[in-house]
Amino acid sequence: MNRTPMILLVDDDDGHLMIAERAIRRSSLDVEVHVAHTGQEALHELGIAEGQTINGDPFLEPVLVMLDLSMPGVSGWDVLRRIRNHHRNIPVVVVSSSGRPDDVRRSYEMGANSYLVKRYEADRPGGYLADAARYWVELNQPPIPVDN
Amino acid sequence: MDNRPEPVNGIPRRATWMWRLSMLMSFAILGIATTLVIWWSAMRDSNRMAAASLSQVAREIHSVLNVRVERHVEALRNLAQFWQLHGLLPQEAWDFNCEMMIRNFRGIEWIAWVNGRTGSHRFASRDTTLHLDESIVRMARERARTPGMDSRASTSGSNVLVFTPVRTPQDSIGVLVAAISPAKLVGHEYLTSGDIIAYSVTGGDGREIYRYGEAAHHVPGGMSIEQNLPQAFGDMWIVRYDPTPKYLLGVVSRWHNYFLLTGVLLSLALGAIAFQFVTLREYSVALAVTNRKLDAQVRELSERDRMMRRMNDELEQRVEARTAQLGEAMKELEAFSHSMSHDLRSPIGAILNYSSILEEDFGQKLDTEGLRVLHRIRDSGQSATRLLDQLVQFVWLGREKAEKSDVNMTMLAREAFQEVSAGLPADHLKFDLTELPQARGNAPLLGRVFRNLLSNSVKYTRRSQAPRIAVGGEERSEETAYWVEDNGIGFDPAQAETLFEPFRRLHSSNDYEGAGLGLAIVAKIVRRHGGRVWAESNGVGGARFGFSLPRDGVPA
């Protein structure tokens, strides 16, 4: 059973979520996009929330998590820590409006695969997010068998 | 109040000069007086002793004299009585008697018998060559005629003539004349030496009869003795005993003089010692005064020291408090900048995102004016984001650690120019870059300096006919200077100082975009490197922005 790979976008900013979702959908990437508006929601989506049992279905795992850091309640830091505590090798790209060197360093130390500072590109809104998503999704896909 | 310590002075030496001199004088006078008193009393004692022994000698001599004179007188009287009893003696008996007399009584020089009536006379002498003088015969007859006349002495030459009348109860017979030599009478043989005493014999008429030895001229009181010799042949002799100079010299021993000399010298020395002692005491008093003053000064100084230390402590506490406050402020600043970069950026980002969605989804429904307004919204949002970026950068500039290394400034300037001129027609803008001196500093920060300066130049030469930007540099004595020159619109030279202040814009933001922080960031970076910044313009066209870095790369 083959399922479409899924990308999880986590952000409390609806506008940003919309831009990111639209940018990824508009790109030629064949992925499903799930969005989570809070950290708690993201944990549920990942099946690693408090009291949740791991269902063990690898096909339900997203191939990429794009994670905002600053969120009310369960923050991006918490989500990142929880993902790494459950030995998930899911690529996590932190997307934050903070460009503080401290935040960047801490994210990498906690296991983030990449760190993007949010920016606005008038000619291609969210284009950089779509590019990043393409990179990570294609990197993690099994090699295409050579057809003789 | 004058805080300097007072100069320390003792009592001036001249002030106590008179007092010290008077101390010297009084000690010397007291010592000399004491010496004199002791000397005088010692002299008196020795004089008294000398006088006592002298009077002892005088007494002995006197008693001998007395006895001799008495014996002579008695012998003469016995001869006269014998003569009286037996009448005129035959010549042989006379001769015999006289011979006996002269042999036994050595004071007798000669004896003569003179008959008062006839003037006939007999004569017996020790010196056989002598003859009886006629004058003596006359004198004797004279005396014989005088009734009631007893033995009577009178002097003749060196002798004393003693006339002794010889008479019967009825009549006078004659006169026995004896010449007595006082020198032989009192004689020297008793005296073993003439060293001690000298004496002189004076007759009743005050004439000196005999003198023995040499008397001292100045005889101390109590040493001379005068005594009478009453039975001296009917006369009263006075004998005066005096010490000889030799004896006096022996009495006043040289030790007395030595004592006197030593005493005077000792007194002077004592005075000098007292003088020195008083001087020393003055010095010690002055020293004590000085010490007290010094003590007071030391106390005051230590008090001051304590106060200084206390003030220092207070200052340190204050500095600590201020540092803590500063740290607090820095934390607040950090929180603020975080909120700027995130909390403020998010809503602006949302505005931008929604305006994009609006344009994409509903662009067809808006007319040209609507689209223009939408773009203006987007532009404003973008400039707000840029402002935020720069502001955060500016605030964070001081907090980041800046690693220093040798920086190739030429390469840095070239890269910066390529970055800021990206997207511009390449042949339109002329860029001159000479070889720049090396610098020591933080490469990313210095790169930002060039980027900001060059983007400014690019911005303000946009409307120039033939825009030209030049970058240069030179090594000076203490610093290395770099500059970015352009032929843009320039600025008012009066504003040159304020250009590097944050949010200072000299040109309308409608004409030239920017947050007004570019030069402030430049100034901050350069000052962190220990350098300085400046700007030059003639106000008409063209500007030159310069900065310098210290030669030895002093850390900020």
Q: How many CB atoms lie within 10 A of CB B259?
A: 16
Cα–Cα distance list, B308 to B305, B313, B316, B360 (Å): 5, 8, 12, 74
In a domain? residue A148: no
Residue B333 lies in a domain: no
Q: How far is A99 from chain B (nearest CA, A)?
A: 8
B interface with A, Cβ–Cβ < 8 A, is 338, 341-342, 345-346, 349-354, 356-357, 360, 378, 381-382, 385, 389, 392, 396, 400
Whether B342 sits inside 8 A of A98 (CB atoms) is yes
First to last CA, chain B: 41
A14 contact residues in B (CB cutoff 8 A): 350
Distance in angstroms (rounded) separating the CA atoms of residues B452 and B461? 14
Nearest in space to B42 (alpha carbons), one of B30, B53, B50: B50
Looking at the partner chain, which of A98, A101, A120 has a beta carbon nearest the beta carbon of B349?
Answer: A120
Looking at beta carbons, which residues of chain B come within 8 Å of A13?
346, 349-350
The mean pLDDT values, 10 residues at a time, for chain B of 556 residues are: 52 68 84 88 83 82 82 83 76 84 85 83 83 82 69 66 76 80 69 69 78 78 81 79 80 76 88 83 84 92 94 93 89 75 78 86 87 87 82 73 84 89 79 89 89 88 85 89 90 82 70 74 88 86 89 56
Answer yes or no: do B338 and A125 touch at CB < 8 A.
no
Interaxial angle between packed helices A39-46 and A76-85, expressed in degrees from 0 to 180 and rounded to the nearest 10? 20
Contact list in B for residue A100 (CB cut-off 8 A) is: 338, 341, 396
**Which run of H or E residues covers position B284?**
helix B254-338
Residue B53 resides in a domain: yes
Q: Is residue B395 within 8 Å of B520, Cβ to Cβ? A: no
The DSSP string of B22-56 is HHHHHHHHHHHHHHHHHHHHHHHHHHHHHHHHHHH
Give counts: helices (H), strands (E), chain A: 5, 5
Cβ of B341 within 8 Å of Cβ of A97? The answer is: yes
pTM of the model: 0.45
Residue among B164, B192, B196 nearest B180 (CA): B164
Q: What is the CATH number of the domain that holds B229?
A: 3.30.450.20
The closest of A117, A99, A107 to B396, measured between CA atoms, is: A99
Candidates B168, B159, B261; CA nearest to B207 is B159
- Note the pLDDT of residue B219: 77
Range of the structural domain that residue B446 is part of: 400-550
H or E segment and range at residue B384? helix B368-397
- Mean pLDDT rounded to a whole number for chain A: 84
Q: Is A134 domain-assigned?
A: yes
Question: By three-state DSSP, how is residue B90 classified?
Answer: coil
User: How many separate domains does chain A show?
Assistant: 1
- Which residues of B fall within a CB distance of 8 Å from A22? 357, 360
Distance CA B152, CA B55 (A): 30
Say if A146 falls within a structural domain.
Answer: no
- B349: chain A residues, CB-CB within 8 Å: 13, 15-16, 97, 118, 120
Vertex B48, ends B42 and B54: CA angle to 5°? 135
Instruction: Respond yes or no on whether ipTM tops 0.85.
Output: no
Residues of chain A with pLDDT > 70, as a percent, come to: 86
- The residue to which tokens 């008429």 are assigned: B205
Burial of B510 (0-12, 13-18, 19+ CB in 10 A): exposed
Residue B341 lies in a domain: no
In this prediction, residue A1 has a pLDDT band, given cuts at 50, 70 and 90, of very low
Q: Is the CB of A121 inside 8 Å of chain B's CB atoms?
A: no
Distance of alpha carbon A111 from alpha carbon A12, whole angstroms? 21
CB B202 within 8 A of CB B208: yes
Say yes or no for a CB contact (<8 Å) between B353 and A16: yes
**Position of tokens 């002495």?**
B153
A122 interfacial to chain B (CB closer than 8 Å): yes
Give me the sign of the Cα torsion angle A117, A93, A127, B445: positive
Any CB–CB contact under 8 A between A72 and chain B? Answer: no
Instruction: Report yes or no: A120 at the B interface, CB cutoff 8 Å.
Output: yes
Per-residue model confidence (pLDDT) at position B555? 46
CATH, residue B499 = 3.30.565.10
Cβ-Cβ contacts under 8 Å between A and B: the total is 59
Helix (H, G, I), strand (E, B) or coil at B179: strand
A24 within some domain: yes
Q: Dihedral, CA atoms, B76, B80, B82, B87, nearest 10 degrees?
A: 150
* C-alpha span between A13 and B344 (Å, rounded): 13
Which residues does B173 contact at the CB level (< 8 Å), separation at least 6?
B83, B84, B88, B115, B116, B144, B166, B167
Chain A's closest residue to B396, CA to CA, is A100
Which token pair is B12? 């001036």
The nearest alpha carbon in chain A to B378 belongs to: A122
Structure tokens at B84: 């009286």
> Which tokens sit at A46?
């990942």
B240 in helix, strand or coil? strand
B/e letters for B302-337, b = 16+ CB within 10 Å, e = fewer, are: eeeeeeeeeeeeeeeeeeeeeeeeeeeeeeeeeeeb
Of A15, A70, A101, the CB nearest to B353: A15
The answer to the question of residue B489 being in a domain is yes
Number of domains chain B is built from: 2
pLDDT at position B508: 65
Contact across the interface for B353 and A18, Cβ inside 8 Å: yes
Q: Domain residues for A60?
A: 6-140
Q: Which of B248, B274, B292 is the last residue of a domain?
A: B248
**Shortest CA distance from A96: residue in chain B:** B342
The enclosing domain of A15 has a CATH number of: 3.40.50.2300
Looking from the CA of B342 toward its CB, the CA atoms found within 13 Å total 18
Contacts of B69 (CB under 8 A, 6+ apart): B185, B229, B231, B232, B233, B237
- B501 vs B490: CA distance, rounded Å: 17
CB B266 within 8 A of CB B30: no
Instruction: Please state the rounded mean pLDDT for residues A3-19.
Output: 87
CB contact under 8 A, B354 and A99: no
C-beta atoms of A15 and B349 within 8 A = yes
pLDDT in tens, A50-103: 777 665 555 567 889 999 988 888 899 999 998 888 867 889 999 988 777 888
Which of B248, B263, B285 is the C-terminal boundary of a domain? B248
CB neighbour list of residue B454: distance below 8 Å, 6 or more residues apart: B413, B416, B417, B420, B421, B469, B471, B484
Shortest Cα distance from A27 to chain B (angstroms)?
Answer: 15
Pairing of strands B235-243, B225-232: antiparallel
Helix (H, G, I), strand (E, B) or coil at B486: strand
Q: Do A125 and B342 touch (CB under 8 A)?
A: no
Nearest CB neighbour to A122, from listed B342, B354, B378: B378
> Could you say which of B187, B222, B248 is where a domain stops?
B248
Distance from B360 to chain A by nearest Cα, in Å?
Answer: 10
Q: Smallest CA–CA separation between B375 and chain A, in Å?
A: 9
